Structures are given as structure tokens and as C-alpha cells.
Amino acid sequence: MFTKILIANRGEIACRVAATARRMGVRTVAVYSDADAHARHVQACDEAVHIGGASPRESYLRAERILAAAQATGAQAVHPGYGFLSENEGFAQACVDAGIAFIGPPPSAIAAMGSKSAAKALMERAGVPLVPGYHGERQEPDFLQAQAEAIGFPVLIKASAGGGGKGMRIVQRAEDFAAALASCQREAEASFGSAQVLVERYVRQPRHIEVQVFADAQGQVIHLFERDCSVQRRHQKVLEEAPAPGMTPALRAQMGAAAVAAAKSVGYVGAGTVEFICEQDGHDTGVQAFYFMEMNTRLQVEHPVTEAITGLDLVEWQLRVAAGEPLPLVQDQIALRGHAIEARICAENPAQGFLPATGTLRTLRTPQASRFTHGAVRLDMGVAAGDAISPHYDPMIAKLIVHADSREAALARMDQALAELHITGLQHNVGFLRRLVRTESFSHARLDTALIEREQEALFGTAHTQAQRLHLRDALLGASLRWWLDAQGTAAGRTEGAPTDPWARGDGWALHGHSQRLLTWGWPQPSGLQTLQVQMLQSRDGRIRLRCTDTEGAVLDAEVSALQAQPRPDDLSGSLHIQAQVDGQPWSAHVDLTGPSAATPDPACDVFTAHGHTTLHRLDPLAQQDEHHGGSGQVTAPMPGKVIAVLVSAGQTVKAGEPLVITEAMKMEHSLTAPRDGTVAELLCSVGDQVAEGVELLRLE
């Protein structure tokens, strides 16, 4: 076994590899960029080497610097993680040439599977079924257009060297093909250094099922069952689970055998994943046919669900195989137990097309492991409270994995764990994931890659259900009670220094009768802040009554008694855990502030209750609000990034929704469209510009 390895990656996967290495007594070396000098993966390793600037092209994609770090520190092997150089044939070969073990497959296997076109040709010769399409070398736009028309629309354009949903477009109509091809090729070139694409029939109602394979240098190849990764947005996975719902033993054996055959055909060694696109014969009858899609020659992001149902540590297996040891088990010794689900926690705005977000993690409270059975809840992450999610890397914050005896129990456990995961400081998808696991389609395992689009109303609908009304009620209660406690000077244990003269207090104290206060809260909605007013009345016996009419006319009338508050001094957010009796029933909330107290100008409260997370802004009713900013004709950068295309010129007339500028950030292209009809008055950016969030790019007359 190795005594020291270098981890050529960052974030949660670097921390994950370091944890297994530490348990095995193997020392670790981290590499880091300028942006990651104080990152968690640096602290998790025994040594750390700086390799360059914040951009991956200046650091994590610099193979020569990583190899130099391995040689300088005496590392005997390099673990590439996933992404970056993990599937780079040249990097794997450079490691071998330098006498350093590459903890992954041989360079020849990476080369064979690294090109989707070449891999499909190889699988075709091996008799593995393929989706009808063009997988050849010719790349002229007119030729590819003709191939698409021969296949029949809709078609899928996919980067030949790609992965992770990048460089991929679904095209519904022939007239849209040219623009989609150009965009796909740009993204493929930027992400993978190759603009080559393939075109194939888009399988309707498809399921994405993949099989985990493992091989050793002695020629033994086995599979570790399958994972369903059908729930996706922007062609990137959101939820993964194992085993795949509705999988029969016969079909599992067929797909497992096909995956093993694929690995054997390229002399594979190490951990890999063979991915299949599956057609369904209706939602309830399972998979009708499966086609080879691609092989990922690395560890997958979703490998923890396989670990959960097998009880195995796949990183340990990777290290042992790379060190020349045989696989620890044979196929008949691999047992499947229970059900596991993984949710990717990302910094993004689901309501705005899952636009990636940046910012600082002010709050990061994790599920209470003591409340769950050992091993039932796992959180893999490479960040901590106070860390920044930058525009340079993938926006994933963490991976939440749950395991239970059945799928139903795993779903309930996932919902509870998501409820206990509290994040503030940036936009994220935790609330979206709670709604997603509760949808009719997911909860009943009616899975396909269009599930999110099909469940639009449940996931993004504006009509208020009873649960959503309770959610808003609890948020208003939490924010208002937090304000009231701060106004008294008793929040976060601040009883000292509170005014003793009742006339000096700012909580609405009155000499006779009830004290009253009217609070105005702004509730962020896609259309802007919706204003809600809460009337607070405090009786002389200490009881508090809150009254409010919500946006649909429903009246909130709640009586609060037995109010208690417990500060969390370890939080950067100044969190307060509030407990009370509301209308005679136990009630609690965690409430975080964006400022030191509710007295700061226009503060925000992040309220976490059993129903979910809501942000409310305390509004000054005397302040003037600009309600027409969205119609100003300004087009601004939604996040830091690089301008890669300007599609209009000054004086050009445009229609609402027409693409104007394309930016690149977090490895993805983002098309900025006209907010309304108008004429381009002024261009304020050029191709190649690096722009900050909120910077104006152009203005419409």
C-alpha cells in the first residue's frame, strides 16, 4: 500500500479521499489555488502545495504543476477525484511516465472511452445497443444538420469529449439546430478543449440508469449494482438513488453483464461507471430497452449511494487496486441492502433557471446525526460556515446522502435531513429539493429526465397550498418574534444593557391596555418583494397576539405564550432558537439576521421551521420603493463571469426574450435576454470582458 498520495482536486471530493486515506494510515498532499488557500480540503490533508491562480486553467488543470508537487513531496500516487484532470489521458500518462501511480484506469482505457463518438463505435462492435445517431468525425454544420434531419427531431447534440451536462443541447426543430450547435460547440471547447459533437435521437421519457463497475490489474471485473440518475436539470443530476426503482433481477443482470463487458473491452482497471439511457413502456411497467450512453472513467459524484447499499468504501478499493492488490470481493459476495438517495446541495436559484449563485456561507447548520441511526445520514462537503462559493468552480456546496431499509423510509429520512440543513448567505436549492422529493412523480418513482419540467406547478407554482400558508405563517411569526426580542434587548442573551426605563424602550410599551406595533415585511417573490404587515399586540400578562392578512386574503391570528429564546453563539449569523406555545401548541424556529440586530437598516430574517426556510426583509414603511426598476431597460450580469458573445449592436431593434449577450460562469453558458421590446441604446461590454455581478452590460431605449 502507498504511504503518501497527492489529491489532485479540491472541495468535497478531496476531503472525501483524504478521510479514507487517513483511516488507512496513508498520508495525503493537497494542492490549492489562490482562491483555496484556506479551504477545508487544505486543512484535511497532511501537506499542501500552492499551484496557481484562482482559475482552473491556472491551477487545477495545470498537469505539470501537480506532477511537480507530487515529486517534491514524495507522493507515490495521484488521486484525481472527479472533474478537472480525472479523465485526461495525457495527465494519466504523464503520471505513469514520472513513476507515479495514477489512481484510476490506464491511459488507454481513458482514451477509448474519453471520446463519446469513439466509445459508441467500440460498443457497437461489442454488440452493446446504441441510440440511433451520428457518432462520426465529420463536423461541418451543414453535414450535421443533414444528419439531424435524417434521424428526425427532436435530437440531442452532445459534446464528444464532454460530461456533467456541459456541451449538450436538445433541439426540437430543424430551424433551431444551427444556433444550438454553435452554442454547444463553444461550451464544449471551453470545458473540454474539443468542439467535436455527436448527434443522436432524443429518447422521449428516458430514464438515466448507470452501473458501477470495478476492475483489478489481474483481470477480474465486477459490478456493484445500478443507480438511477434520472432527475436532472440542465442535463445535470439533482437526485440519485440506488437501487433503481422498478428494476427486475433479470434486467439488473443484463445491464450488469453489459457494463462488465464494456469495461473488459478496453482493459479497464479501477472504478468506473457505465451509463445507459433507458426507454420506458409507460411509467408503471419499468424499462423496455436500454442503450449505451457513455462510460465515465473515474469515481462518480453519486458513488456514496452505492457505498450505502453495499457497505463498501469505494475509495479504499481504488487505492488497493492502484497499489496492485486484487479486488477484495468477487461478484457473488456483493450484497444489496436497503435503499439510498443522494441530493446535491448547490448554490443556485431554481426559480431563475437554476442560475448558479455566489456568496459567503453565513450559516451552515447540518442535520443532527444523533437523531438518526448510525450511517443513516451522511453529509459530504468541502466548505464550512464563513467560506465563499466563488464563480471559479462548480456551485455544489455538499452532498446529502440517506440510507434506510426501504425507499419510502429513505424518502422520509431525506425530507427530515433537508429540513435540518440550514444555509444562509447565498441562494441555494434546499427548499426546492424538499418540494422535489415530495412530488407525486418522485415519491411514486415515476422517473424520467423530464420529471422537473413535468412537476413545474408543484415545484414553482404560485398558488398557495395549506402547507405553504403554514410555512408563511411560521416565517412571519419567527421574524416578528425575533424583532420583538431584539427590540427588548433580550435576544441572543443580551439582557445587560437593555433599557430599564420603560419610556426609553422601543417595543411599543404602553402604560395602559395593550402595547401595539405594526411591522412591515417584504417577502421575496419572482415578481419582486410582496409587502405583508403584521400587527403585534402585547397584553399585560405577557401574551402576544399577531394578526396579518396574507397575499391571498387569508387572515393570520395567532396567540403566543411561554416564549423562550436560546442563542447560538457559534453561528456567524447571530442565530436565535425561539420556542413558544402558539395557539396552545408547541412551536419553534431558528431565526438568523443579516445584521447585528433588528435595528439595522432594512434587515433580513432567515426563518427556519419544520415547514422550510423563508427570508423576510424588514421594510421601513416611510421609505420610497422603486417598483419599476425591472422596466428600466438595463441588462446586467446575474453573476461574475466572462462575456463570450455579444449578439446585438447599438441601434438594433429587439423583442422581449431575444438573446442579447452570452456570458460564461461556473463552467456554464448563460444567455441574457431582452427584458422588453426596445432598441439597443448603448453597448457597455465587449467579448472577453470579465464582469462582476450587477455590472450593466447594455441599455435599451
What pLDDT, on the 0 to 100 scale, is given for residue 599? 39
- Rounded to an integer, what distance in angstroms lies between the CA atom of residue 561 and that of residue 582? 7
Of residues 164, 101, 126, 312, the one with CA closest to residue 225: 312
Range scoring the smallest mean pLDDT among 255-269, 443-457, 555-569: 555-569
- Of 28-32, 389-393, 629-633, 681-685, the range with the highest mean pLDDT is 28-32
- Rounded to an integer, what distance in angstroms lies between the CA atom of residue 678 and that of residue 631? 11
Residue 291: all three cell numbers together? 442503450
Give the confidence band of 539 by pLDDT, cuts at 50, 70, 90.
confident
Between 299 and 665, the more confident residue is 299
Residue 266: all three cell numbers together? 478496453
| Average pLDDT for the chain | 87
- Mean local confidence (pLDDT), 323-334: 97
- Mean local confidence (pLDDT), 553-567: 84
DSSP 701: -
- Of 16, 27, 227, 298, which one is the catalytic site residue? 298
Give the confidence band of 323 by pLDDT, cuts at 50, 70, 90.
very high
Query: What is the dotted CATH code of the domain comprising 338-461?
Result: 3.30.470.20
- Rounded to an integer, what distance in angstroms lies between the CA atom of residue 347 and that of residue 385? 14
**462, pLDDT greater than 70:** no
**What element of type H or E holds 489?**
none
What pLDDT, on the 0 to 100 scale, is given for residue 627? 38
What pLDDT, on the 0 to 100 scale, is given for residue 543? 84
Pinpoint the alpha helices (H) of 420-465: 430-438, 440-443, 451-454, 456-460
Beta strands in 87-152 (DSSP E): 101-102, 133-134
- Rounded to an integer, what distance in angstroms lies between the CA atom of residue 294 and that of residue 120? 7
Residue type present at position 590:
H
Range scoring the smallest mean pLDDT among 202-211, 282-291, 345-354, 466-475: 282-291
- Predicted structure pTM score: 0.81
The domain over range 4-103 is classified in CATH as 2.30.30.280: no
Is residue 27 classed as helix, strand or coil in its secondary structure? strand
CATH architecture of 629-700: Beta Barrel (2.40)
**Assign residue 516 a region: left if phi > 0, alpha if psi is -120 to 50, beta otherwise?**
beta
Residues 642-683 have pLDDT tens digits of 899 999 999 999 988 888 999 887 666 778 888 888 999 999
Give the confidence band of 136 by pLDDT, cuts at 50, 70, 90.
confident
Taking CB atoms within 8 Å and a gap of at least 24, the contacts of 247-255 are 247/209, 247/286, 247/287, 248/286, 251/286, 251/287, 251/290, 252/225, 252/226, 254/290, 255/209, 255/211, 255/226, 255/290
C-beta separation of 233 from 459 below 8 A:
no
What pLDDT, on the 0 to 100 scale, is given for residue 600? 44
What pLDDT, on the 0 to 100 scale, is given for residue 36? 96
The fourth-level CATH superfamily of domain 208-337 is ATP-grasp fold, B domain (3.30.470.20)
- Mean local confidence (pLDDT), 265-277: 94
**512, pLDDT greater than 70:** no
Give the confidence band of 468 by pLDDT, cuts at 50, 70, 90.
confident
What pLDDT, on the 0 to 100 scale, is given for residue 234? 82
Residues 169-203 have pLDDT tens digits of 999 999 999 999 999 999 888 878 889 999 998 88
What pLDDT, on the 0 to 100 scale, is given for residue 490? 55
Rounded alpha-carbon distances, angstroms, from residue 81 to 17, 188, 271, 312, 498? 8, 21, 11, 18, 53
What pLDDT, on the 0 to 100 scale, is given for residue 316? 98
- Rounded to an integer, what distance in angstroms lies between the CA atom of residue 290 and that of residue 292? 7
- List, in order, residues 6 or more apart from 585 with CB less than 8 Å away: none
What pLDDT, on the 0 to 100 scale, is given for residue 625? 40
- Mean local confidence (pLDDT), 26-41: 97
Rounded alpha-carbon distances, angstroms, from residue 643 to 189, 201, 387, 680? 15, 32, 26, 17
- Rounded to an integer, what distance in angstroms lies between the CA atom of residue 138 and that of residue 688? 29
- Quote the distance between the C-alpha of residue 522 and its chain's center: 27
Residue 213: all three cell numbers together? 463497475
Place of cell 422521449: 204
What pLDDT, on the 0 to 100 scale, is given for residue 492? 41
- Mean local confidence (pLDDT), 415-440: 94
Q: Is 298 a catalytic residue?
A: yes
- Rounded to an integer, what distance in angstroms lies between the CA atom of residue 562 and that of residue 329? 58
Between 303 and 677, the more confident residue is 303
Residue type present at position 589:
A
- Mean local confidence (pLDDT), 615-627: 64
The domain over range 132-201 is classified in CATH as 1.20.1050.10: no
**571, pLDDT greater than 60:** no
C-beta separation of 231 from 175 below 8 A:
no
- Mean local confidence (pLDDT), 443-455: 93
What pLDDT, on the 0 to 100 scale, is given for residue 553? 66
Range scoring the smallest mean pLDDT among 434-448, 459-473, 578-592: 459-473
Beta bridge partners of 664: 642, 669
Q: What angle do CA 655, 660, 661 make, to 5 degrees?
A: 165
Range scoring the smallest mean pLDDT among 58-67, 299-308, 356-365, 622-631: 622-631
What pLDDT, on the 0 to 100 scale, is given for residue 90? 96
Residue 562: all three cell numbers together? 411561554
What pLDDT, on the 0 to 100 scale, is given for residue 463? 63
Strands 4-7 and 27-33: parallel
Range scoring the smallest mean pLDDT among 30-39, 67-76, 327-336, 532-541: 532-541
Q: What percent of the chain has pLDDT over 90?
A: 59
**516, pLDDT greater than 60:** yes
Residues 141-157 have pLDDT tens digits of 999 999 999 999 999 99
What pLDDT, on the 0 to 100 scale, is given for residue 87? 93
Give the confidence band of 493 by pLDDT, cuts at 50, 70, 90.
very low
What pLDDT, on the 0 to 100 scale, is given for residue 167? 84
